[in-house]
Structures are given as C-alpha cells and as structure tokens.
A = this chain, B = another copy of it.
Amino acid sequence: MVEKMLLRSDNCAGAAPEILEAVMRANDGVLPSYGGDVLSVDLAEKFAGMFGREVAFALVGTGTGANALALSVVTPPEGAVLCHEKAHIRVSEQGAVEFFTGGAQLVGVPGANGKIDPNALENTLNTMPGSMGAARAPSCLSLTQLSEAGTAYSLEEMKALAAMARGHGLRVHVDGARIANALAGSGGSIGQMCAEICVDILSFGATKNGALTTDAVILFDDSLRDELAVRQKRSGHVFSKQRFLAAQWQAYLEGDLWLKLAGQANDAAQALVRDLAGIDALTIEHPVDGNIVFMKLPPGMLSSVNNEEIPFHVWGPDIIRLVAAYNTPNEELAGAVTGLRQLCAASLS
C-alpha cells in the first residue's frame, strides 16, 4: 500500500490540543482504578446533563469494541441485527458482533446513499421470521450516523425507521462513530436525537474526531446495566487507568468542543467539494453531509494507472474515498485536488 495516502481517514490525524492537555492534567496523583476516579465520576454527571437523564456508560478504546459490546447487550445469540447492507458492523469488523453476541445474525437492508430504505426495512421485518418459528427473530435495528456513504439521516428519517422497528419489538442501536459530524452538519442535539428516536444504546465516537483512543457506549435501559458491565469486563474493555479515557471525554465534551471539531472537518470537506467541482471528469458519488467525500472517476481510470501511483483510498470500482479531519492541513486538501487532476490527466493522455 501507499505509505501515506491523501485524506486516507480521519483517524490518521492526531488529537486535539485541548484533549491532549486534559490527559496531561489527569496524570497527577493517586486515583482509584477501574472507573472509581473522580474524572469518571464527574463524567457521569456530564453525560446525564447531555442526555437529560442518568445513563450507564462504558468507556472503551475502539469503535469496533463499542459497537460489538453495545449490540451484545441488546441482542441474544439467536437474534438478528438489521442494518444497512454496507454497514461497518456488517462488512468491516471481521465478525466482532457475531463474536460478542455469540452468533447473532447481521441482516443487510438495502437503501440508496448508505441509508436504510424504509420500504426495504418494512419488507425485511414482515418476511422475518420464517417457517416453523425457527428462523431468526430480528432483535435490533442498527442505524449508522454518519452512514458509510458519508450521508446523514434526518431526525425524521431516523424516527420513522426506529418507530417501524419498535413496532416489531426491536431494540434500536445507533452506531455513532461519526455522530459528531452528522450533528455538526444538521445542528441537531444528541440528547434530543436519542430521546426522540428512543435509542436503547449508542456507540458514541470520539477517536475519529480528535480524541486519542476512546469511544463510548451509552446505555439508556437501566435494566441492562449489569449486562453491560459484565460484558465490558469479559471482553477486556475495562481500563484500569480509566482516568485517561475519562479525561479525553471531559475535554471532548467541554464547551461542545466535539461539535466544533466536527464542524471544522465538515467545512474542509465542503471546501474540497467546491474545488473538485472544477474537474469535469469527476462526479460526487453521494451527498456530502459530513466529512467524507466519495468521488466517482471515469470508468477504467484507476485501472489504467499503476496502483502504487494512486495516493488515495480506493473504495470500489472507479470510486475513491476522501475523509477530512478536524485539523486536515490545507496543503493536504490542495494536494488531493492536484493529485486528482494529475490522475485524470495521466489517464486521459
């Protein structure tokens, strides 16, 4: 692979200074371990404020850990999780969800631009379970916000899908690895979103948006608190020095830093869209609702060039993915535009 790709991903960026400083400050003194530290205790209040109610939470180190842990709390081994057919949990986590749930099935539901189509969901809900009561009963709907395609569901769209799922007795999970980018774009509030669509459990991302190494699971169903705690421990996701994760969260949420950072990434993506509009050969593949831009190239262009010479993340046939981070340098943005121009030139010559 190319050692360094342009706009490879938002997790190629470092951490925001405010968050780094919080980690420094958290280093002082002797503190209880495994979440007994004052930073974790304060964080509980902070979350309560954001969500307008007490919540249980688990601070973990990775997005895959957050998603798999969250889904295992609301899905029995014999259950099924309905998600978009291209959802990260289904195609990119190498079976983490099946591992954590003990074998639940990830059922893909189609839909344009990475968003579940309501009719397709209705159809899936009505055709499952199958004969002899032995088919999988769908247990949970998982909505990815931002979606894999870089698009965002509107609050109304999420409410409709969630209501449909609840009507069939399903739980609702939101994979919010990039929830900040979706909210920064729409101006919505996370508390309102979770309340209005009655989310049971949320994967709340921070790593991709300026933190060092932490995402969180936010649980809204108190009856599942112990289940979450036990599963977090069994899967090795309880940090002894949790202070260092709590500190990242404190700074991340302080003064809505998380929304500010996401806004910066989104702005960079919009700037990119404007600059790329000038290249006729290129078309934008999906609406850009956050910090991810998918560009469609002329058929065969990529295959006409030596792979080693493509300084971009090739996502599919004739498709490349460009992701802006909160601190993407202007040179990298400019470099990407230049690089794409050159690719077009090279292939057309």
Is A240 interfacial (CB 8 A cutoff)?
yes
| Beta-carbon contacts under 8 Å, A127-141 to B | 128, 130-132, 134-136
Q: How far is the CA of A333 from the CA of B83 in the complex (A)?
A: 44
Contact with B along A207-250 (1 / 0, CB 8 A): 11000110000000000000000100111111111011100000
Closest to A97 in B: B103
Q: Does B4 contact A94, Cβ atoms closer than 8 Å? A: no
Q: Does A20 contact B24, Cβ atoms closer than 8 Å? A: yes
Q: Does B96 contact A234, Cβ atoms closer than 8 Å? A: yes
Contact with B along A22-37 (1 / 0, CB 8 A): 0110111111111010
Closest to A11 in B: B240
Q: Please report A residues at the B interface, Cβ cutoff 8 Å.
A: 1, 3-5, 8-9, 11-15, 20, 23-24, 26-34, 36, 60-69, 76-78, 91-96, 98-106, 128, 130-132, 134-136, 207-208, 212-213, 230, 233-241, 243-245, 313, 315, 325, 328-329, 332
- Pick from B30, B64, B77, B315: contact of A238, CB under 8 Å: B64
Q: Does A94 contact B78, Cβ atoms closer than 8 Å? A: yes
Contacts of A128 on B, CB cut-off 8 Å? Answer: 91
Q: Does B132 contact A34, Cβ atoms closer than 8 Å? A: yes
Q: Does B130 contact A91, Cβ atoms closer than 8 Å? A: yes
Tell me what chain A mostly uses at the interface: helix, strand, loop, or mixed: loop
Q: Does B92 contact A98, Cβ atoms closer than 8 Å? A: no
Chain B nearest CB from A124 CB (Å) reads: 12
Q: Does B236 contact A69, Cβ atoms closer than 8 Å? A: yes
Q: Does A78 contact B234, Cβ atoms closer than 8 Å? A: yes
Q: Does B213 contact A244, Cβ atoms closer than 8 Å? A: yes
Chain B nearest CB from A138 CB (Å) reads: 12
Closest to A79 in B: B95
A92 touching B236 in the complex, CB below 8 Å, given contacts A11-B33, A103-B102: no
Q: List 12 A-B contacts (CB under 8 A).
A: A8-B30, A15-B27, A30-B332, A63-B240, A76-B230, A78-B234, A92-B130, A94-B234, A98-B102, A99-B235, A102-B103, A208-B240
Q: Does A32 contact B12, Cβ atoms closer than 8 Å? A: yes
Contacts of A29 on B, CB cut-off 8 Å? Answer: 14
Q: A9-B240, A98-B102 are in contact. List 20 more A-B contacts (CB 8 A).
A: A3-B32, A12-B31, A14-B31, A15-B241, A62-B238, A62-B240, A63-B240, A65-B236, A66-B236, A77-B102, A78-B230, A93-B236, A95-B103, A95-B105, A95-B136, A96-B233, A99-B102, A103-B234, A131-B315, A213-B244
Q: Does A237 contact B94, Cβ atoms closer than 8 Å? A: no
Q: Does A91 contact B32, Cβ atoms closer than 8 Å? A: no
Q: Does A98 contact B96, Cβ atoms closer than 8 Å? A: no
10 tightest A-B contacts by CB? A65-B236, A98-B103, A11-B240, A14-B27, A61-B61, A64-B236, A11-B33, A91-B130, A78-B95, A94-B233
